[in-house]
C-alpha cells in the first residue's frame, strides 16, 4: 500500500510538471514561463540556464539507462524504480521552471494575427501528440503506476511488449516529434526560448540514439526491421 500511494503521488507530481512544460514554453496559463521575469545579466542568465538544461539532460538520460537501473535497484525496490525516476524528473523540471532566467532578445516575431494563430495551433498540436502518444504505448506503465499497482496486487509487473499502434506506424518517436513542434513554433522567438529549444533538440536526438540502442537490445530483429521501415522523427508512410 505504501508503494501504491508513493507511486500515485509521484505520478501526480510528474503529470503536473509535464503539463506545466507546455505552458512554460508557450508562455500561456502558467505563473512563470520561459520569457517571464526580470531580465538580468545576459551572461549570468546564460550560465544558469545552461546548468539547468545540463542537469535535466543528465538526470533524464543517466537514470533511464539499464546499467544504472541495475545498480539503482540494489537500494530502491524494483516496484518503485520507475516512480522514483519520474519523481526525480519532476523535481529537476520544477527547479528548471523556478530558476530559469529570461533572455528577452527577440530573434523573430510573427505579428500577423493569422500567422500567430497558426503557430499556436502547431504548438497545441504538438502538445496533443505528446500526450496521446503516451497513451498509445501504455501511459500508466511509462509513468510508474502500472508497476506499483501490480506490486500492490502481488503480481509481477508486465514486461514491455514491442508494439506499433496508430502513430507509431508512421514515426518511431511521436513523443519527440510532438515535443519539437511545441518547442519550435512560438510566434515570438526570444534568445532564451531559442537556447531552450536548441538544447532540448540536441538532447532529443542524443536520447533517440541511446533509446534505440536499448530497444535493439531488448527486442532484437523486430526493432531493427521496424527502424528500417519507419521514419525516425517525421511522420511518413512506412517503407516496404
Q: Are 120 and 187 in contact (CB under 8 A)?
A: yes
The pLDDT value given to residue 232: 96
Burial 185-208 (b: 16+ CB within 10 A, else e): bbbbbbbbbbbbbebbeebbeebe
Distance CA 176, CA 184 (A): 12
Q: Chunk the chain into consecutive blocks of 10 residues (it has 240) and report each block's average pLDDT, rounded to whole numbers.
A: 94 92 90 90 95 94 89 91 94 96 94 93 93 89 90 83 89 95 94 96 93 91 94 92
What residues contact residue 117 under an 8 Å CB cut-off, 6+ apart?
none
Phi/psi for 99 (5° steps) reads: -100, 0
| String of DSSP letters for 60-98 | HHHTTSHHHHHHHTTTS-GGGHHHHHHHHHHHHHHHHHH
Which contacts (CB < 8 Å, 24+ apart) does range 156-165 have?
Answer: 157/78, 157/79, 160/218, 162/215, 162/218, 162/219, 162/222, 162/223, 162/226, 163/137, 164/226, 164/230, 165/136, 165/137
The pLDDT value given to residue 137: 86
Amino acid at each position: 500500500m505504501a508503494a501504491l500511494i508513493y507511486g500515485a503521488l509521484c505520478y501526480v507530481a510528474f503529470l503536473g510538471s509535464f503539463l506545466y512544460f507546455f505552458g512554460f514554453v508557450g508562455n500561456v496559463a502558467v505563473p512563470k514561463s520561459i520569457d517571464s521575469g526580470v531580465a538580468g545579466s545576459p551572461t549570468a542568465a546564460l550560465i544558469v540556464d545552461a546548468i539547468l538544461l545540463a542537469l535535466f539532460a543528465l538526470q533524464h538520460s543517466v537514470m533511464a539507462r539499464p546499467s544504472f537501473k541495475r545498480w539503482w535497484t540494489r537500494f530502491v525496490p524494483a516496484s518503485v524504480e520507475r516512480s522514483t525516476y519520474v519523481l526525480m524528473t519532476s523535481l529537476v523540471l520544477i527547479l528548471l521552471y523556478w530558476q530559469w532566467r529570461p533572455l528577452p532578445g527577440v530573434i523573430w516575431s510573427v505579428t500577423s494575427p493569422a500567422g500567430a494563430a497558426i503557430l499556436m495551433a502547431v504548438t497545441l498540436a504538438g502538445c496533443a501528440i505528446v500526450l496521446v502518444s503516451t497513451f498509445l504505448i501504455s501511459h500508466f506503465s511509462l509513468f510508474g503506476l502500472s508497476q506499483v499497482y501490480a506490486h500492490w496486487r502481488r503480481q509481477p509487473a508486465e514486461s514491455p511488449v514491442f508494439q506499433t499502434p496508430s502513430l507509431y506506424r508512421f514515426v518511431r518517436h511521436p513523443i519527440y516529434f510532438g515535443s519539437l513542434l511545441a518547442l519550435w513554433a512560438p510566434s515570438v522567438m526570444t534568445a532564451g526560448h531559442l537556447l531552450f529549444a536548441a538544447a532540448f533538440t540536441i538532447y532529443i536526438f542524443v536520447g533517440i540514439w541511446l533509446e534505440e540502442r536499448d530497444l535493439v537490445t531488448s527486442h532484437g530483429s523486430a526493432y531493427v526491421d521496424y527502424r528500417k521501415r519507419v521514419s525516425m522523427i517525421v511522420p511518413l508512410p512506412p517503407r516496404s
